[in-house]
């Protein structure tokens, strides 16, 4: 992947190259291999390159031979060879041998704005059409690659990362208090928003055309669930296996060595096994290296499963032993890249892992991200199913006990009575028709963090109704879907792009110039899964049932049988210094003067949380999330808007 940036200004013309060079330099970590700037009158484009495909010929910004089209492109078009063959048959002229950037140019030249529907890949694209005086921005279907933009007077400024926008003299960083409060509740801003005021993010699956006569925004791809009840299980699993293998095949294309993030879970293990099969068939098995994270704390460490799977693949993983202290020490650096608050520390080990990957001269890693959203793997889906089951017989003493099985890794839930379980999980038959049924308990729990906000911020939020805003954003088809599909849609369009693929994905990987390729987000797989009835994806309480049927033979029995465990890292314990207090420089971020300077939080409430953490390690999920959220938000403010108040 790479970093892209640019400015279009139809009134005053694009700014001089120096600004574009500064914007590119601000994202040098995304593209350490090359840097290019191009000025075309109304528009200026820049590109920092991470050379992966056709390193000799892929310099950007790239232009068509006639100079009418120019592009700055971050990402990969995995079906570029097929598209090139199609385009060559149509007589489109190519100058490079196998560069996917040139395919983007020629695909647009031939198919116009409809070209993006034909791409299988991950991208953020800025394409200048000189004849039409049109700057076209496009982002991949799931939001794997980031793309931010803002308006500054008559200029439109865009960049892979928000920090590059702030190089423009008319774009000053300021925190968007509403967005930060939405992040607190949803773990992500509402679609299209960022933590910064007046800075937007192009939504996944969308395009933006900026022209002298105005701006157009449209969605070129929409996830839709239309279950087909007429197929046998075997038909689904066979089709899935074939498609999954093809998705891996496409993502093995690279002119550099390949890595795999092997977590020890089902998804990355399946990807690793398929990649190994395909590479071995070509006699190229040694091209794939494994990278894993290991922790001191046994309840989150997965090395046992990683070792078993690595042994099966016949290779030794590069294991990063991530000490608790290292997580605390690198939190601020990680936030500099995520550009939004965090709730869990899990992003930090991934930040450190990408550094390790880079140290081993790798810059591409396959990952298993996306499988939980596409095939219904998260506990939240089970939780929604169980809550419905319990709500149908509210008087039952036995049904609520099933809720304990949801989170076997949370010991404090195992001793709770049916009555308490009923109450925690908001089991109420009145809620069954609620469009947000699946997510209500999570969002309600998250909202408990509002007690740490300053009184002024809390007051400002009373005028808002973010749930109504979210409801207005949902597609019309949402009301036709069942509870499982609605839950999948919310996870796939909110948490996936807003947290998993960004804060735990692209941003912490590209911090060290490492491209992640989440295989399960091949849109053909997502479309296939969207045709599967919920029972095919989750059989009773067996999550990702169809994936296990399709690819269970590829992984060790231990990986196949293990209960679902989300990727987690040690939490607040990572921030403690030797005396039990918060270690520096984190402590400085939470001193009352720092808290007051930014005005978002209540210094008294924060001090009490710290006192509680000092007495004993925080046990509650909410307390841990509160500490990570407050620390990371303060780090974000300190980095981007030091000295200013959010009020």
Partner 1 sequence: MDYLSKDIRAFIEENFLFGGSAEDISDDGSLIAEGILDSAGVLELVAFLEGTYGIQVADSELLPTNLDSINRIAHYVVRKQACLQAARVA
620 binds partner 1 (CB under 8 A): yes
Number of Cβ within 10 Å of residue 639's Cβ equals: 15
- Report the SS3 class of residue 207: strand
* Residue with Cβ nearer partner 1 (288 or 610): 610
431, 391 contact by CB (below 8 A): yes
Residue linked to tokens 């081993």: 360
Q: Which is nearer to partner 1, 274 or 386 (CB)?
A: 386
Q: Pick one of 93, 542, 604, 647: the residue that binds partner 1 (CB under 8 A).
A: 604
Rounded to 5°, the CA angle 294-590-335 comes to 45
User: Is 360 or 459 the residue whose CB approaches partner 1 more closely?
Assistant: 459
Closest approach of Cβ 465 to partner 1, in Å? 18
Query: 49: which residues sit within 8 A by CB, 6+ positions away?
Result: 2, 31, 33, 34, 35, 36, 58, 59, 60
621 binds partner 1 (CB under 8 A): yes
282/3 Cα distance (integer angstroms) = 32
Q: Which residue, 298 or 611, is less far from partner 1 as judged by CB?
A: 611
Residue 213 or 615: the one with the smaller Cβ distance to partner 1 is 615
Among residues 251, 253, 256, 291, which one has the least CA distance to residue 32?
Answer: 256
Supply angle C-alpha 468, 492, 203, rounded to 5. 70
Closer residue to partner 1, CB minimum distance, 38 or 452 = 452
Q: In whole angstroms, how close is the CB of 356 to partner 1 at the nearest point?
A: 33
Helix (H, G, I), strand (E, B) or coil at 139: strand
CB of 618 to partner 1, least distance (A): 9
Q: CB 185 → partner 1: shortest distance, Å?
A: 12
**3-state SS, residue 340:** coil
State which of positions 135-194 bind partner 1 (CB under 8 A).
none
Q: Pick the piece of the chain touching partner 1 (CB under 8 A) from 25-33, 289-297, 569-577, 599-607.
A: 599-607
Report the alpha-carbon distance of residue 126 to residue 123 in Å, rounded: 10
Query: Closest CB to partner 1 among 344 and 363?
Result: 344
Nearer to partner 1, 121 or 400 (CB): 400
**Site residues (CB under 8 A) for partner 1, limited to 384-423:** 410, 412-413, 415-417, 419-420, 423
Least distance to partner 1 from the beta carbon of 623, Å? 8
* CA–CA distance, 183 with 340 (Å, rounded to integer): 9
Distance (Å, rounded) from C-alpha 445 to C-alpha 292?
A: 31
Nearest residue (CB) to partner 1, 218 versus 420: 420
Q: Which of 111, 220, 424, 473 binds partner 1 (CB under 8 A)?
A: 424
Beta-strand runs (E) in 488-574: 515-518
- Classify burial at 573, counting beta carbons within 10 Å of its beta carbon; exposed 0-12, middle 13-18, buried 19 or more: middle
Considering the complex, state which of residue 245 and residue 416 has its C-beta at the smaller distance from partner 1. 416
Residue 444 contacts partner 1 per CB under 8 A: yes
Establish how many alpha carbons lie within 13 A of residue 642's alpha carbon, considering only the half-sphere containing its beta carbon.
5
CB of 446 to partner 1, least distance (A): 10
Sheet with strand 364-367: strands edge to edge? 318-322, 288-295, 258-261, 364-367, 515-518
Q: For residue 608, what are the contacts with CB-CB under 8 A and spacing of at least 6?
A: none
Q: How far is the CB of 178 from partner 1 (least distance, A)?
A: 21
Q: d(Cα 477, Cα 187) in Å, to the nearest integer?
A: 24
- Window contacting partner 1 (CB under 8 A); options: 46-54, 254-262, 569-577, 597-605: 597-605
Give the nearest distance from C-beta 608 to partner 1 in angstroms: 4
Question: By CB under 8 A, how many residues form the interface with partner 1?
Answer: 29
Which of 231, 477, 568, 612 forms a contact with partner 1 (CB under 8 A)?
A: 612
Query: Quick check: 514 and 364 in contact, CB under 8 A?
Result: yes
What are 598's two structure tokens?
A: 């930014």
What's the burial of 607, exposed, middle or buried (CB within 10 Å: 0-12/13-18/19+)?
middle
Cβ 452 to partner 1 shortest distance, Å = 7
Please say which residue, 151 or 416, places its beta carbon nearer to partner 1.
416
Query: How far is the C-alpha of 518 from the C-alpha of 370, rounded, in Å?
Result: 7
Tell which one of 245, 329, 445, 565 touches partner 1 (CB under 8 A).
445
Question: Min. distance of Cβ 598 from partner 1 in angstroms?
Answer: 18
218 binds partner 1 (CB under 8 A): no
Q: Contact, 452 vs 346, CB < 8 A? A: no
88 or 604: whose CB is closer to partner 1? 604
CB under 8 A: which stretch of 329-337, 354-362, 522-530, 604-612 binds partner 1? 604-612
Whole-angstrom distance, CA of residue 281 vs CA of residue 444: 50
How far apart are the C-alpha atoms of 279 and 287, rounded to whole Å?
8
Look at residue 181 and give its three-state secondary structure: helix
- Contact call for residues 45 and 85 (beta carbons, < 8 A): no
Q: Which is nearer to partner 1, 130 or 447 (CB)?
A: 447
Q: Answer left, alpha or beta for residue 243, where phi above 0 means left and psi between -120 and 50 means alpha.
A: alpha
Stretch that binds partner 1, among 222-230, 318-326, 354-362, 621-629 (CB under 8 A): 621-629
Burial class (CB in 10 A: 0-12, 13-18, 19+), 415: exposed
Please select the residue that binds partner 1; options are 608, 614, 642, 645, rule is CB under 8 A. Answer: 608
Q: For the CB of residue 619, give the shortest distance to partner 1 in the complex, in Å.
A: 5
Residue closer to partner 1 by CB (options 415, 463) is 415
Shortest spacing between CB 339 and partner 1, in angstroms: 27
Q: Minimum distance between the CB of residue 466 and partner 1, rounded to whole angstroms?
A: 16
Nearest distance from C-beta of residue 390 to partner 1, angstroms: 15
Q: Which residues bind partner 1 (CB under 8 A)?
A: 410, 412-413, 415-417, 419-420, 423-424, 444-445, 447-448, 451-452, 602, 604-609, 612, 619-623
């Amino acid at each position: 992947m790479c970093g892209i940036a640019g400015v279009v200004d139809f009134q005053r013309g694009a700014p001089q190259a120096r600004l574009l060079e500064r914007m590119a330099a601000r994202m040098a970590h995304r593209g350490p291999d090359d840097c290019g700037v191009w000025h075309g009158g109304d528009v200026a484009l820049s590109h920092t390159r991470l050379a992966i495909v056709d390193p000799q010929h892929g310099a950007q910004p790239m232009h068509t031979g006639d100079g009418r089209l120019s592009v700055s492109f971050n990402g990969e078009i995995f079906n570029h060879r097929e598209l090139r063959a199609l385009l060559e048959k149509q007589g489109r002229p190519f100058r490079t041998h196998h560069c996917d950037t040139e395919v983007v140019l020629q695909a647009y030249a031939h198919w116009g704005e409809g070209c993006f529907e034909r791409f299988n890949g991950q991208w953020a694209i800025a394409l200048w059409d000189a004849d039409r005086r049109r700057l076209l921005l496009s982002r991949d279907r799931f939001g794997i690659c980031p793309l931010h933009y803002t308006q500054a007077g008559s200029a439109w400024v865009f960049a892979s990362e928000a920090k590059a926008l702030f190089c423009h003299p008319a774009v000053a960083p300021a925190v968007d208090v509403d967005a930060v409060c939405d992040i607190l509740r949803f773990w992500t801003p509402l679609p299209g928003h960022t933590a910064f005021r007046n800075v937007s993010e192009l939504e996944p699956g969308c395009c933006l055309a900026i022209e002298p006569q105005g701006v157009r925004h449209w969605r070129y791809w929409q996830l839709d669930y239309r279950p087909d009840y007429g197929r046998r299980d075997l038909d689904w699993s066979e089709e899935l296996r074939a498609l999954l293998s093809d998705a891996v095949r496409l993502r093995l294309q690279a002119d550099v060595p390949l890595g795999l993030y092997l977590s020890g879970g089902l998804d990355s293990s399946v990807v690793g096994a398929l990649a190994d099969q395909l590479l071995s068939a070509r006699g190229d098995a040694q091209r794939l290296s494994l990278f894993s994270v290991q922790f001191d704390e046994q309840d989150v460490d997965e090395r046992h499963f990683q070792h078993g799977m690595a042994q099966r693949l016949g290779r030794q993983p590069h294991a990063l032993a991530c000490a608790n202290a290292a997580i605390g020490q690198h939190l601020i650096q990680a936030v500099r890249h995520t550009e939004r608050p965090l709730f869990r520390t899990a992003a930090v080990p991934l930040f450190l892992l990408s550094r390790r990957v880079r140290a081993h001269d790798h810059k591409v890693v396959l990952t298993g991200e996306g499988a939980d959203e596409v095939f219904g793997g998260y506990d939240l889906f089970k939780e929604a199913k169980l809550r419905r089951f319990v709500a149908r017989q509210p008087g039952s003493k036995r049904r609520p006990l099933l809720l304990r099985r949801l989170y076997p890794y949370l010991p404090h839930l195992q001793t709770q009575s049916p009555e308490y379980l009923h109450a925690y999980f908001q089991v109420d038959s009145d809620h069954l028709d609620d469009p947000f049924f699946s997510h209500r308990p999570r969002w309600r729990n998250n909202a408990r963090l509002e007690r740490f906000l300053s009184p002024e911020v809390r007051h400002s939020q009373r005028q808002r109704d973010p749930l109504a805003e979210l409801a207005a954003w949902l597609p019309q088809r949402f009301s036709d879907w069942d509870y499982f599909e609605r839950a999948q849609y919310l996870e796939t369009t909110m948490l996936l792009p807003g947290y998993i693929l960004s804060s735990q994905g692209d941003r912490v990987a590209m911090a060290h110039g490492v491209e992640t390729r989440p295989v399960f987000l091949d849109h053909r797989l997502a479309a296939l899964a969207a045709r599967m009835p919920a029972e095919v994806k989750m059989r009773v309480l067996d999550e990702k049932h169809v994936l296990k049927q399709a690819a269970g033979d590829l992984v060790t029995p231990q990986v196949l049988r293990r209960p679902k465990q989300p990727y987690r890292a040690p939490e607040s314990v990572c921030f403690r210094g030797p005396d039990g207090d918060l270690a520096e420089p984190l402590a400085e971020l939470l001193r009352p003067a720092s808290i007051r300077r930014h005005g978002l939080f209540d210094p008294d409430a924060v001090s009490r949380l710290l006192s509680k953490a000092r007495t004993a390690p925080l046990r509650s999920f909410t307390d841990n999330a509160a500490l990570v959220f407050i620390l990371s938000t303060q780090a974000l403010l300190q980095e981007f808007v030091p000295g200013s108040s959010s009020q």
